[in-house]
Structure 1
Amino acid sequence: MKLTEPVLNKAQLLKVAGITSTTFNNWCLRGHIPLAQLGCEKVSLTRYKYTFLTAAYCALLSYFRGNKRKIYLRMLKSFVCGVANDGYYNDNATIAIANSGKGPDCGIFDNYGAALDMRNLDVIYVDAGKILNKALELHKQHEVSNKSANKKVGSTL
Structure 2
Amino acid sequence: MNLTEPVLDKKQFLEISGVSNTTFNNWCLRGHIPLKELGCVKVSFTRYKYTFLAAVHCVLLSHHRGNDRKTYLRLLKNFTLGIATDGFFSQDATVAIQNGGKGPDCGIFDTYGDALHHGGNRFIYVGAGQLLNKASDLFEKMLKEQNIKIDGRY
Q: For this structure pair, what is the TM-score category when the shorter chain's length is used for normalisation? A: over 0.9
Change (3 A) 1:30 1:138: same
Stretches of 4+ moved more than 2 A in 1? 118-121
Verify the 8 A CA contact 2:7 2:50 in the aligned structure 1. yes
Match of 2:124 in 1: 124
1:104, 1:152 → 2: CA distance? 52
Residue identity matched to 2:104: P
Q: Which runs of 5+ in 1 are unaligned?
A: none
DSSP-derived class of the 2:3 partner: helix
Match of 1:15 in 2: 15
Shift of 1:120: 3.2
Residue identity matched to 1:44: S
**Percent of residue pairs bearing the same amino acid type:** 57
Q: TM-score, normalised by structure 2?
A: 0.97
2:121, 2:55 → 1: CA distance? 29
Matched, 1:42 2:42: yes
DSSP-derived class of the 1:3 partner: coil
Residue identity matched to 1:95: V
Verify the 8 A CA contact 1:98 1:120 in the aligned structure 2. no
Query: How big is each residue's C-alpha offset from its partner over 1:18-65, in whole Å with a ceiling of 9 and x where there is no partner?
Result: 111111111001100000100000111111000011111111111000
2:90, 2:60 → 1: CA distance? 15
Match of 1:91 in 2: 91
Matches within 5 A, 1:1-157: 2-154=2-154
Number of aligned residues: 154
DSSP-derived class of the 1:4 partner: coil
Shift of 1:127: 0.3
Q: TM-score, normalised by structure 1?
A: 0.96
Q: Which runs of 5+ in 2 are unaligned?
A: none
